[in-house]
Structure 1
Amino acid sequence: MIELVFATNNLHKLEEVQAVVGNRFRILTLADIDCADDIPETGDTFQANASQKSGYIYGKYGYNCFADDSGLEVQALDNEPGVYSARYSGTRDMEKNIDLLLQRLADHTDRHARFRTVISLRIGEAEYFFEGTVDGKIGFERQGEGGFGYDPLFTPRGHSRTFAQMSGAEKNAISHRAIAVAKLAEFLRTTY
């Protein structure tokens, strides 16, 4: 069984990833390696942030690991909130972030958006990247109680319900993170 550290404190992300990779891989959390550090995330792209996080864990703790950076890109807002998705309003309060997004989109009819994930995998000195995206649109109000982040606003293309209205299994089957993690898992299966 392959052990990898997932460089996140987000339990929702951990649940999504474990559901995709199954029991072939043992995913360790930051808590499992006694890491309570505030891991730097100062890049201006998803790839830079993911690389910075995986590099930090590998460099300081010596574990093979992967890290992701994800966010929502809204076409009419020049791909905002992008890498600032989790702190779009200047805080990590998702209700405020959602309110700000709806406010900035109020006068826009173009509601096209996409969720995007980039994963950086570090195995020894080598680094590999995997990306997943899911296109859709932003609604005019919150719908659904599930998911997290912008899920109550985002309806993926080809669907009539938001991510927040879907079960975890339904979302995991089509999410940006699931797509990127599937690429990661396939790489690990065929390479290691």
Structure 2
Amino acid sequence: MALTTGFPLLDSLISEDKIVEFYSLDRELLTLFYHRVIAVSSPVQVVLVGERGGLDPNMVERFQRIYGVTGEIRVRRAFKVEDVSQVLKVVRGEAVIVDPYQHRKCYSNIVKYLRLDGSRKYIFSFMDREREGSLFGAHSAGSILKLSRTKGGFKVEIIKSVTLGRLEIPFATWEIFGRSESGLIRWII
């Protein structure tokens, strides 16, 4: 199955990009979002960078149940900064990569292996991409999207896109769990 966010509008905007990066300072929101992406994109390869945490199998299973998906998820973990390049070197095909820039060094090698096979990659970073992100990664990504909370949910800001200018797309909190309705628009039409 192809990488997807499960949000048709968002997917249509980033469908042509090989490397798409999602970032946020809100760890809870980004974690929830990438669990959803992993579940709806399964079968999928996932690379986790760091010693602890990263993937909650129960949350992925819940999302798979919500969306009626049963695909396999193959997980690889990179513990140290030196491991990131080595793990990315062997990943072939589409993949979700969680926090590859966590160590804030070796950017050029990491980006080199992200681009190596030319397949789509979704990257999720817990950082302020505009202030502390790698320049290599910013040049390689087709789209860079910022997730942030709003009063009634969250928004996705398209910070960089090959085809679009800056754009904000708001979502209600429950939409991440697959519940949405047309709201007032049903009364207008």
TM-score (norm 2): 0.28
Structure number with higher relative contact order (C-alpha < 8 Å, ≥ 6 residues apart): 2
Structure 1-normalised TM-score? 0.28
